[in-house]
Amino acid sequence: MDAHAFETRMREDGFAVFERAVPEDLLQALRRDITVRIATCAEHAARNGITEAMEGAAHHVVGGDDSLARFLETDWVDTYIRQHFDGSEFILNSFGAIDNLPFSSKSYAHGQRFHRDVRTYSGDFRLMVNMLVMVDDFTLENGATKMVPGSHRAAERPDDDDIERRTVRLVGPAGSIVLFDSNLWHSAAPNHTQGPRKALTLTFTRPFCKQQMDYPRMLGDDWPRDERMRQLLGYNARVPAGYDEWYQPPEKRMYKPGQG
């Protein structure tokens, strides 16, 4: 997809699909490691007294040395994300993993309503973009995500009749990557098969937006492996916590140039 086609799709529909972008060997590893991450997050929730954590969901799956880390370290569609933000830098706002389990009252998808992932409608000024990675095939039967094309252009939620008339399903092969405007109204869908339907869900913002979790503090200053990851994880857009961090020469400042 060239830059013009991407911009047209994002402007008119609010989303663009890059089919089979992720190779099968990485997808196989992701299927295994997503299950591990979901179990780990459930353990964290249980230790803190949360007994009804969303089944099949893991949040903030950064760090570690598994396939999810390798996915994040790869430049899949950075050029298009940067284009979405008018050529500006961006950071990771959240990184989740989902296993849309066969239909049950506790599954992540069950009960999901149409929503948008950025709460402040900003019109033509783009604050956030979502990435959905199809780790398994997305089919009508296993809960392919629902989208309302063009709904990112209106400040208010479409009415129910409009949603019913305009909704499309994101059916696609495993390995496909979808970028969509975070103002787009969308919804999960129940899985009516007997198998799983795994996906990665990421959001990216302009660097001045607050991350859902403080990744630099979570991971420590030495974790990023290269400059791309320092930028992506927010290390170049940190806020000083005192005078000694504020009064520094430009090369040592926490908030780097070019962050918007």
Strand residues in the chain grouped as ranges (E): 15-18, 57-59, 91-99, 128-134, 146-147, 168-169, 177-181, 186-187, 198-205
Q: Is residue 258 part of a domain?
A: no
Amino acid at residue number 68? L
Write down the pLDDT at residue 85: 96
pLDDT exceeds cutoff 80 at 54: no
> Is 257 part of a structural domain of the chain?
no
Would you place residue 251 in the very low, low, confident or very high pLDDT band (cuts 50, 70, 90)? Answer: confident
In angstroms, the first-to-last Cα distance of the chain is 27
Four-residue CA torsion sign, 189, 190, 192, 196: positive
Residue 260 located in a structural domain: no
Structure confidence at residue 149 (pLDDT): 98
Q: Is residue 115 part of a domain?
A: yes
Q: Are 71 and 26 contacting, i.e. CB atoms less than 8 angstroms apart?
A: yes
Domain-located, residue 138: yes
Provide CB contacts within 8 A for 235, sequence distance 6+.
216, 221, 224
Give the chain's mean pLDDT: 92
Can you give the residue range of the structural domain that contains 126?
3-252
pLDDT at 173: 98
Residue 106 pLDDT level (bands cut at 50, 70, 90): low
How many Å apart are CA 206 and CA 129, to the nearest integer? 9
User: What is the reported pLDDT for 94?
Assistant: 97
Residue at 70: amino acid letter: R
The answer to whether the predicted template modeling score (pTM) of the entire model surpasses 0.75 is yes
- pLDDT for the residue 111: 53
Average pLDDT over residues 166-176: 97
Structural domain includes residue 19 = yes
* Mean pLDDT, residues 100-113 taken together: 66
Give percent of the chain with pLDDT exceeding 90: 78
Give the type of residue at 228: R
pLDDT band at 26 (very low <50, low <70, confident <90, very high): very high
Q: What is the tally of structural domains in the chain?
A: 1
- CB-based contact 113:146 (threshold 8 Å): no
pLDDT at 105 over 60: no
- The burial of 228, by beta-carbon neighbours within 10 Å (0-12 exposed, 13-18 middle, 19 or more buried), is given as middle
Q: Is 153 exposed, middle or buried (CB count within 10 Å of its CB: 0-12, 13-18, 19+)?
A: middle
Please give the share of the chain, as a percent, with pLDDT higher than 70: 95
* Structure-token match 């919804």, residue found: 187
| 259: in domain | no
**155 pLDDT band (50/70/90 cuts)?**
very high
Does residue 171 lie in a domain region? yes
CATH code at 74? 2.60.120.620
